[in-house]
Amino acid sequence: NEMMSDVEFDCSKAVEMGYISPKLLELIKLFETFGEPSQLMCLIFVERIITAKVIERFVKKVSQVSHLTVAYVTGSNTSTDALARNRQKEVLDSFRSGKVNLLFTTDVLEEGIHVPNCSCVIRFDLPTT
């Protein structure tokens, strides 16, 4: 897809053309308002692993937020998209140490995650319960 490979593409136009949802555009706009990456640790909860993967990949391509480091982490369930336990730990350590600013995760992690200096939590998808 030509538009997705163009790093400087216009997010509003992407919504008009149906490439991204208005909700994702709002999330990008919110990320644009965040200050210095050194102060930022934002946890974004999504319902499905595939959502975490796709949005994380997309955000990495948006030049307006390229100063932020993005990653995703999932529970280690049997899903083919789930991350291995050691990879999970690596990503969480990077987030805790501030190397990763925006961490997309599924509810699976909600119980056991401890991030003492998390500056922001966003629930991208409504909770199922």
Q: Map out the domains of the chain as residue ranges.
A: 11-123
* Burial of residue 106, with CB atoms counted within 10 A of its CB: 0-12 exposed, 13-18 middle, 19 or more buried: buried
Q: What is the DSSP string of 5-63?
A: H-TT--HHHHHHTTSS-HHHHHHHHHHHH---GGG--EEEEESSHHHHHHHHHHHHH-G
Q: What is the pLDDT of residue 2?
A: 45
Distance CA 93, CA 95 (A): 5
CATH number, domain 11-123: 3.40.50.300
Q: What is the pLDDT of residue 3?
A: 45
Q: By three-state DSSP, how is residue 87 classified?
A: helix
pTM of the model: 0.81
Give 35-86 pLDDT, tens digit per residue. 788 878 999 999 888 889 889 998 998 888 889 999 998 766 656 656 677 8
